[in-house]
Amino acid sequence: MKIRAAVLEQMGKPVPYSVSKPLIIEELELDEPEQDEVLVKMWYVGLCHSDLSVINGSRPRPTPMVLGHEAVGQVLQIGPGVDNVSVGDMVSCIFVPGCGQCEGCRIGRPTTCIPGAEANKRGVLLCGKTHLFRTGRGTDRQPVYHMGGTSGFATHAVLSKHSVVKVDQGIPPEYAALLGCGVITGVGAVTNSAKVSFGSSVAIVGLGGVGVCALLGAKACGAGQIVAVDLDPRKLAKAKELGATHTFLVHKDDPISKTVETIRSQLGGISRGGVDYALEMAGSGPALQIAYGITKPGGTTVTIGLPDPAVHLDIQQVSITAEERTLIGSYLGSGVATRDLPRYVDLYKKGSLPLEKLVSGIIPFREINQGFDMLEKGEVIRVLVNLKDEK
């Protein structure tokens, strides 16, 4: 079938993207779903820093590629073997397609799925192929790659059945779009990875969309202190509005040691030695060093950031042993999507997870490059692209 999609032809184009236009909307050919695959009409797709990191080249991926991984849509067709969703279901898309067969999947850790990670790196679906093609450029169809097994910046997409989760239609679709990336990553980092306990102290370093989700998760867990740390005073104001008990503005030119000491000294009381849990949500080396530096002895530091592979962490190794510190990574919130997404929907319906406060705006498909300008400038938490009425 013929679809319309925003194609990234070349990484590293300069900002503003409204001028350089890294994403070009064009007509592509989409093959029908095969074994264990579904065809989805995309409704809303979030603009995420993971997309931006491919656009700016800090996370190289094969091109041409259709980006977009934080998405919600409706199932239009199912292939043989699909038993988890039906035609007409609203589904949230998951950008780590757990195969269900590897060791990670078998022990309940689908985010560590090796076949899924390999498929994502190659820009193909879990079946090992791409279903997107350019036509009319010679006799052969030119393959176009998929991002995260999703390729949500398109009117329609074919995905593995392992990349979709049925969502209760009691949640508005524009908020359901956030479940498959921002929410499962941010809230999951708090609940699954850190395992934040009631009354504890939590710091969130980096208040983008995922960081704000982590803040909401910490609040839902009953954290006693929620410390928000960021470079942008606008984001700190939003964090305060959403439940942060303390906010700290980081000055980019200040030494990390000074920033760490300032935060620890101003917290006072039981958190003078640092916080119980610190979560790095910015995808930068300095942010992780700050998070580690403000974690107390016996505490846990969690990182969800995906910085350039050239970035290395410089920490005092002896502190891990002598202070019994824990430093862990969290990918997709260490989540199990089929288990976690229904829980997050329930929290939304009860008012404990106000997803509506995360949406800074909804833009038409044609303004997708302008949307990434807003994200790059840090002007928004989440911007959604409306694809529901696109043919």
Taking a C-beta distance cutoff of 8 angstroms, is the pair 293, 256 a contact? yes
Strands 295-303 and 326-329: parallel
- Before 16, cis peptide (omega within 30)? yes
Domain boundaries, the chain: 2-177+354-386, 186-330
186-330 homologous superfamily: NAD(P)-binding Rossmann-like Domain (3.40.50.720)
147: which residues sit within 8 A by CB, 6+ positions away?
Answer: 51, 54, 61, 65, 66, 67, 68, 69, 95, 120, 123
Architecture of domain 2-177+354-386: Alpha-Beta Complex (3.90)
Q: Mark the ranges of the chain whose per-residue pLDDT is less than 50.
A: none
Give the Cα separation of 313 and 330 in Å (integer). 16
The pTM for the full model equals 0.94
Common-topology check for domains 2-177+354-386 and 186-330 = no
Which among 3, 8, 2, 1 is positioned nearest to 368, based on CA atoms? Answer: 8
Taking a C-beta distance cutoff of 8 angstroms, is the pair 201, 224 a contact? yes
- Write down the pLDDT at residue 137: 62
- Write down the pLDDT at residue 316: 87
- Write down the pLDDT at residue 387: 98
Which 8-state DSSP code applies to residue 112?
A: G
- Write down the pLDDT at residue 272: 63
Taking a C-beta distance cutoff of 8 angstroms, is the pair 130, 124 a contact? yes
DSSP 202-234: EEEE--SHHHHHHHHHHHHTT-SEEEEEES-HH
SS3 string, 304-368, reads CCCCCCCCCCCCCHHHHHHCCCEEEECCHHHCCHHHHHHHHHHHHHHCCCCHHHHEEEEEEHHHH
Strands 23-30 and 2-8: antiparallel
Q: How many residues in total does the chain contain? A: 391
Query: Could you tell me the CA-to-CA distances from 48 to 58, 81, 314 in Å, in that order?
Result: 14, 31, 27
Which among 181, 178, 228, 238 is positioned nearest to 206, based on CA atoms? Answer: 228
Q: Mind listing the pLDDT tens digit for each residue in 180-226? A: 999 999 999 999 999 999 999 999 999 999 999 999 999 999 999 99
